[in-house]
Structure formats: C-alpha cells, structure tokens
Amino acid sequence: MSKIREAFAGGKAFIPFITCGDPDLETTGRIVREMAANGADLIELGIPFSDPTAEGPVIQGANIRALSGGVTTDRIFAFVEELRKDVSTPMVFMTYANVVYSYGAEKFISTCRRIGIDGIILPDLPFEEKDEFLPVCREYGVDLISLIAPTSADRIAMIAKEADGFIYIVSSLGVTGVRSKITTDISALVKVIRENTDIPCAVGFGISTPEQAAEMSRYADGVIVGSAIVRQIAEYGRDSAGPVGEYVRKMKAALK
C-alpha cells in the first residue's frame, strides 16, 4: 500500500494545504510540524508559481509573498529533505505543469522520490496530456493525482479508472477560495467514481468550517482545505503555527 493510500486507512482523512515560503520556509516548517502533530493525515505543499491559474486571491497572494521572499524549487526540495528527518506524514506537492516541465520532468520527479514526496498535483494538466509526466511518475513511484470537477461529466469514469494515489474532487467551479455554501452534488460524483475504482477520493475547493468538512466527509474519503489556512497565515505571519495547528485539530475532529 502506498503512503497516500495509508493516509486514508484510518478513517476520513484531513488534508491541509500550505504554500511553501509564505511568509518564509522557517515558518512553513513550524506550520507543517503543527499540522502533523494535530492530526493531518496528508499534507499538500504548494510550490509557488508566478501564474497560478487555479488559485483565487488568497493563495495567489501567498504565491506572490513566497516568490518575493526568494523561494525557489531547489530551496523547497532542500526544505522537504530536512523536514523528512522528523515528519513522517505523507506529503504531496501541488504546483503547475510549467514548474515541472521547466525544471525537467525526470529530474523533478526523481528528486521527489529521493526526498520523500509521495505524489504531485498539477491542476492545469489536462487528463489527455498526463502522459507527459505519468510514465516518469510511475517509474519513480510518485503518484500523479487526478482531479475531477463538476464539469468532468462523461470523463469521470475514464479519469477514475486510470487514477493513482487518490482522486481530488473539485467541489466548485472557478478558482480556489472559501465559499459559504457548496452546491455541487458530491454524492453523484462519488457514485460514478466508486463504480470505476476503489481509490480514495477527497473533496477540496471552498471548504473552511468544521460543519462543511463533516458534510463533505459523508460522501468522500477525505477533505482538503487550503484558502482558509493560507488566510490565517496571511493574518498571523510568522506566529501562525499555533493558530493553524489548532484549526487543523478542530477540522480533523469534525471528521471523526
């Protein structure tokens, strides 16, 4: 069983997202350790990109702050390698295809394997173009996570059948960001996924409260939260590890 599958083995998984280097890598390290200590089952680490097309203003702002602070892919690789000395929680990178392509796909993915990254999420990679990276990911045992959106329609079964690690269900149309209400029929999406694969699926985009997390976990195997956490980091800056850790604890408790 892969480490990503293991993250879902103990019940409903809570998956927090953080942008590496916002406000700096030292703070990111403290936050990740607090997330792990407070029950995060899998952690998404964002590699900042200058044109993050799937992101709303909150995570766009985090990307800008991180890049302005001098964060690079190589610095993030070194950071994760250090993090892995004491953090065993499964971790995946969330970034953009251009980041991987410009770095060199084999070099990027083989480094992920070496430093202990379990998977990558590329929200701008169309399903039809995944073979650009999938063979290399499978060669090095790094899961290429597939996304399914409300607009995926008749492509859901096709995507599900070929998915690795877990399936990221995009709960809402548009970019990332906190939403007061999620109107997509998640149960209908999960039903089609379940008819085609037993790979776990987690819902992201728009979830911010324990109540929303509990509701989404009725249908899916896990819940992903990004913007609500990144907004806390923007508010508390270098003092955000404690508040984020407490938030993760509450969200995880809502899934039990």
Instruction: Return the pLDDT at 173.
Output: 55
Task: Please give the residue range of the domain that contains residue 100.
Answer: 3-146+220-254
Q: Is residue 147 within a helix (H) or strand (E), and if so which, with residue range? A: strand 143-148
Mean pLDDT of 161-166: 95
Question: 87 vs 151, which has greater pLDDT?
Answer: 87
In a domain, 207, yes or no: no
In a domain, 139, yes or no: yes
Give the domain CATH number at 72: 3.20.20.70
In a domain, 29, yes or no: yes
In a domain, 237, yes or no: yes
Q: Residue 172 in contact with residue 184, Cβ under 8 Å?
A: yes
Number of domains in the chain: 1
In a domain, 100, yes or no: yes
pTM summary value:
0.94
Neighbouring C-alpha atoms within 13 Å toward the C-beta of 106:
2
In a domain, 98, yes or no: yes
Q: Residue 99 in contact with residue 74, Cβ under 8 Å?
A: no
In a domain, 152, yes or no: no
In a domain, 44, yes or no: yes
Give 109-152 pLDDT, tens digit per residue: 999 999 999 999 999 999 999 999 999 999 999 999 999 988 88
Rounded-to-integer distance, Cα 28 and Cα 119, Å: 19
Instruction: Say what the alpha-carbon torsion angle 32, 51, 237, 115 is, to the nearest 10 degrees.
Output: 20
Residues of the chain above pLDDT 90, percent? 81
220 secondary structure, DSSP code: S
Give 187-245 pLDDT, tens digit per residue: 889 999 999 999 999 999 889 999 999 999 999 999 999 999 999 999 999 999 999 99
Whether 47 shows a pLDDT value over 90: the answer reads yes
Residue 91's beta-bridge partner residues? 43
